[in-house]
């Protein structure tokens, strides 16, 4: 199957000299990485949620130029297995699609979710969730200040954290998009000791609930079906209510690339 068959023909884009505040608004509205183009619609790269998180409120009036991430060329005639390999290697959720390597005009976009939807379940090999999941999971508390989570996402590069209650039970999830989508939240700069965090909103205010969980003994086919049904990008893996891992679309696509139709 070629990229042309699964790509989005109407991707979200922004011009390179536009403001990052506009890019942030596009991410809130469309829940997507934004493609960056010049005034002739030639692709310059992408700006991701991680890039937006790196821009503090005191820098919100700068332009997109300077925060663009360049990625390898993906064309309409490329096999989606090859496109998947590029996106998994770079850990990006979306890539711009060009009609050809010679013509760098924006033609479309392909996402990990698009590739995930085209996994052939009948050919998925039997493997258990515990074989693919990330075992060392970074978490946060529902009472943590958003400023603390925001800082950790920037420093560690994670896109989301399971949220635990006072009894260490998983109660939800908070992601980069949750923070960006919250809109009114403006996280102040903090000193190295985090002494200003007391003024920040709490994770409980914007986290996604309920927590969607799966057993480590479940099959990856079960995980695919659950993520598809719930339309989520990740699942917490729990054993007797204890968090033991996390599995996401990247993990599944990486393990199942050969099953794509």
As for how many domains the chain has, the answer is 2
Q: Say yes or no: 239 and 172 in one domain.
A: yes
Could you tell me whether strands 242-248 and 106-111 are parallel, antiparallel, or unpaired per DSSP bridges? unpaired
**178, part of any domain:** yes
Residues 108 and 151 in one domain: no
Asked whether residue 250 is domain-assigned, the answer is: yes
Taking the C-alpha atoms of residue 248 and residue 225, their distance in angstroms, rounded to an integer, is 12
**Residues 145 and 234 reside in one and the same domain:** yes
pLDDT at residue 171, as a whole number = 93
**Residue 192 in tokens:** 């190295």
166 shares a domain with 71: no
Radius of gyration of the chain (CA): 19
CA angle (200, 181, 187) in 5-degree steps: 25
Whether residues 162 and 111 share a domain: the answer is no
Domain boundary among 117, 146, 181: 117
- Answer left, alpha or beta for residue 82, where phi above 0 means left and psi between -120 and 50 means alpha: alpha
Residue 22 lies in a domain: yes
CATH number at residue 226: 3.10.580.10
Alpha-carbon span 35 to 108, nearest angstrom? 10
Residue 123 lies in a domain: no
Q: What contacts 225, CB < 8 A, 6 or more positions away?
A: 121
* Residues 169, 228 share a domain: yes
One domain for residues 113 and 154: no
Do 133 and 252 share a domain, yes or no? yes
- Assess whether 59 and 35 both reside in one domain: yes
To the nearest 10°, report the CA torsion of 216, 221, 224, 228.
-120
Q: What is the pLDDT along the chain (261 residues), one digit of tens a residue?
A: 899 999 999 999 999 999 988 998 898 888 889 999 999 999 999 998 888 777 765 556 789 998 899 989 999 999 998 999 999 888 899 999 999 888 899 999 999 999 998 888 888 888 999 999 999 999 999 999 888 888 888 788 788 899 998 888 899 999 988 888 876 445 444 443 444 544 568 899 899 998 899 999 999 999 999 999 999 989 999 998 889 999 999 999 988 887 776
Range of the domain at 35: 3-117
Q: What is the largest CA-CA distance in the chain?
A: 57
Looking at the fold, whether 86 and 109 belong to one and the same domain comes out as yes
Q: pLDDT at position 261, please?
A: 66
Q: Are residues 91 and 52 both part of a single domain?
A: yes
* Same domain flag for 86 and 157: no
Cα(10)–Cα(84) distance, integer angstroms: 20
């Amino acid at each position: 199957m070629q990229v042309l068959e699964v790509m989005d023909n109407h991707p979200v884009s922004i011009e390179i000299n536009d403001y990052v505040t506009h890019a942030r608004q596009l991410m809130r509205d469309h829940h997507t990485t934004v493609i960056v183009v010049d005034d002739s619609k030639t692709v310059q790269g992408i700006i991701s949620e991680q890039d937006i998180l790196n821009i503090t409120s005191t820098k919100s009036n700068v332009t997109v130029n300077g925060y663009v991430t360049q990625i390898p060329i993906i064309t309409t005639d490329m096999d989606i297995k090859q496109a998947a390999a590029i996106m998994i290697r770079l850990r990006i959720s979306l890539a711009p699609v060009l009609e050809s390597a010679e013509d760098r005009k924006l033609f479309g976009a392909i996402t990990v979710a698009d590739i995930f939807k085209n996994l052939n379940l009948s050919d998925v090999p039997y493997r258990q969730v515990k074989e693919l999941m990330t075992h060392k999971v970074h978490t946060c508390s529902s009472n943590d200040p958003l400023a603390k989570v925001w800082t950790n996402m920037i420093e560690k590069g994670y896109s989301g954290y399971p949220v635990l209650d006072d009894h260490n039970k998983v109660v939800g999830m908070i992601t980069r998009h949750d923070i960006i989508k919250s809109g009114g939240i403006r996280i102040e700069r903090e000193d190295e000791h985090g002494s200003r965090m007391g003024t920040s909103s709490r994770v409980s205010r914007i986290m996604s609930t309920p927590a969607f969980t799966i057993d480590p003994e479940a099959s990856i086919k079960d995980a695919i079906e659950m993520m598809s049904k719930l339309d989520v990008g990740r699942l917490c893996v729990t054993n007797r209510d204890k968090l033991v891992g996390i599995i996401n679309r990247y993990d599944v696509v990486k393990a199942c690339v050969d099953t794509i139709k």
